[in-house]
Amino acid sequence: MTSEPPAEVIAEQRELEAARARVEDLRAQIRHHDHRYYTLSQPEIGDTQYDLLFRELRDLEARFPDLVTPDSPTQRVSGEATVEFTGVQHREPMLSLNNVFNAEELTAWYARAVRRIERENLRFVCEPKIDGLAISLVYENGRFVQGATRGDGLRGEDITANLRTLRSIPLVLNAPPASLPRAFEVRGEVYMSKAEFARLNGERRIAGEQLYMNPRNTAAGSLRQLDPKITASRRLDLFVYQLGWVEGDRPVDSHSAAMSWLGGLGLPTNPLTQTFAGIDAVARFCEGWVEQRDALEYGIDGVVIKIDDYNAQRELGVVGREPRWAVAWKFPAEQAVTRLRQIEVSVGRTGVLTPFAALEPVFVGGANVSMATLHNLDHIHELDIRAGDDVIVQRAGDVIPQVVAPVLSRREGREADLVPFAMPSTCPVCGGEVRRNENEAAYYCTNRRCPAQLSRGVEHFASRGAMDIEGFGEKMAFQLVDTLRPDSTHHYIETLSDIYALPALRDELLTIPRIGEKKLDALFANIESSKQQPLSRLLVAITMRHVGTETARALARHFGTMTALREAALEDLQAVNDIGPIVAESVYDFMRDPENAALIDRLVIAGVRMDEDTTALGGPLEGLSIVVTGSLDRWSRNEVEELITRLGGKVSGAVSKKTSFVVAGEGGGSKREKAETLGVVLLDEAAFLERLRADGWADTPA
């Protein structure tokens, strides 16, 4: 006859079983919330609540070490740094893709596929091509057991420990093991978001360390750290893009079905993936992402197009290391390396001296680039960029090309040829004194008569967002600032108010090369009509530091007239909504400067309007904060924003929980996405019009 275990042993066993049950429950909850947060971007609890669950699990595992398992959420970062990575032979090669660069090449790829399998009406799956590092994930009985890099396509490196640190990779799949193939492979792309890249470089900048070049290389380097703790600190992410080999029968018969199945198991799939029935629709999808790519929070360098049906994929097969059933539409490269010939300086309308790079011409971002911005002196010193360096140049879409960093490895043996940059002490255009204002990065030319400042100031004064004088672009502005009047020591334009004296000089102006009668008469008509622009436009046009479109509107609506604004005390300016002390002081100083006061007086004499329509107070949009994004059909962006302001609304440049609604035209990018995430109302142009008319509006924008 056996005796029962002692009471304390029974109590310990019960405590262990209770702990085991609680540990399993906590792990299930944490996996659920990891999936909601990292994969779906739809969290159900706050960070504090999540941390409490995680802390409880960690405490229980510390008390009961036998309950710790390799797939526990607490074990994502575990173990010591490895000396080196071991090799992994891929059971099926990780293939590379052939590239196309336009619709014509895409159509030719499709025609070859149709000829080979003698089938038309194929369906295609398209997804953004993430600019990251391809990896392989192996699951056995529903648990993550191995992760590897692509390597040479046949053999990669075992980075399982590092991949376990990515919270977007489920260690246990969201399905009973019995319902899954015993083992299968998933392929994906690990990437670093733009925000995380900026955070890392910010830390390195503070520490005085060499900055990382781009998110893709940084992600790759982070995955190959010998210490998983370093990988974990980098906040990498993942999208899976393909079901690889499967032991036994495949659970699906198409790529689109496979992606849905993988998503259901808790693996992160890209929500931007779309399926199309025709190759023309595929081409339009690809062309659209050329324009939209910069709105994403991660980098993409193309679109991947796959024939959806697995039977068609098998028929088409592989040539070399490229599948015939898939192709990549590649975007123009956004980075290139070239020689920095010289660092030069330009002078802007506010007198700011901006250094820029004169480069050996290089094709990047779809265009030949020979100049790029260098931002300011601090930026140049921070990156240690020198004339003569080989540098990385970046250009994305229509963004101004910029120098990212020097290629330090190419300096060896050339150090004597490299010239560190120093800001000139005199203006390169007029020879005026250059000063740096306290607490600012910028250097300024102090000569207000500097031709470069004046020319750019005239161009800005006449621009669409200011006085809207069509026909008064960069070339005309420079020509009239640079040209002396006949038998005179004065130029046609020596101050902004001289623009309104030009019609009286018609005969003289006709003697200037490339200025004809029709062109001149059209310009004069536009100069005359610009006198009726409201005060807010004039405040933008005359270039007050720190005063942009929104600030100008706020000032004009608050004070109503130029006279009231000129007489406003500093505390009156600080009382205006959204006007801080720096802006208030800038406006106050501008209005009390004798030269600026004389300019305003001359504009008054010329007949320029000096007031604002303040009927917006009490208007149908009063008290509402509205964001405008995307391209509209009926109005320009400036027109619809002015309409909102006239009807009492406030135009905001960013979407937040305080946004009343977003007027969203075609596109809209990140602002549309943020509105959807926050649950902010989105109105297209028609819905916006309908709302205004329901409130009694029957006008058109000014």
Q: Is 239 exposed, middle or buried (0-12, 13-18, 19+ CB in 10 A)?
A: buried
SS3 call for 48: helix
| Rounded Cα gap, residues 598 and 312, in angstroms | 77
DSSP 261-288: HHHHTT--B-TT-EEESSHHHHHHHHHH
Q: Beta strands 99-100 and 326-330: pairing type?
A: parallel
| Rounded Cα gap, residues 227 and 162, in angstroms | 8
Q: Beta strands 390-394 and 87-89: pairing type?
A: unpaired
Is-contact 255 125, C-beta < 8 A? Answer: yes
Residue 694 one-letter amino acid: A
Q: How many CA atoms lie within 13 A of 155 on its CB side?
A: 5
Name the phi and psi angles at 337, rounded to 5. -110, 135
Indicate which residue of 129, 330, 671, 674 is catalytic.
129
Within 8 A by CB and 6+ apart from 492, the residues are 480, 481, 483, 485, 498, 502, 505, 508, 509
Rg (CA), the chain: 32
Residue 190 one-letter amino acid: V
| Rounded Cα gap, residues 1 and 4, in angstroms | 10
Q: Can you list the alpha helix ranges (DSSP code H) found in 352-502?
A: 377-383, 451-461, 474-482
CB atoms within 10 A of CB 60: 18
| Rounded Cα gap, residues 221 and 224, in angstroms | 5
Sheet holding 237-246, edge to edge: 143-149, 133-140, 183-191, 237-246
Is-contact 393 404, C-beta < 8 A? Answer: yes
Name the phi and psi angles at 247, rounded to 5. -80, 120
| Rounded Cα gap, residues 275 and 122, in angstroms | 11
SS3 call for 681: strand
| Rounded Cα gap, residues 214 and 298, in angstroms | 11
Is-contact 389 406, C-beta < 8 A? Answer: yes
| Location of structure tokens 């925000």 | 195
Is 129 labeled as catalytic in the residue annotation? Answer: yes
Q: Which residues are catalytic?
A: 129
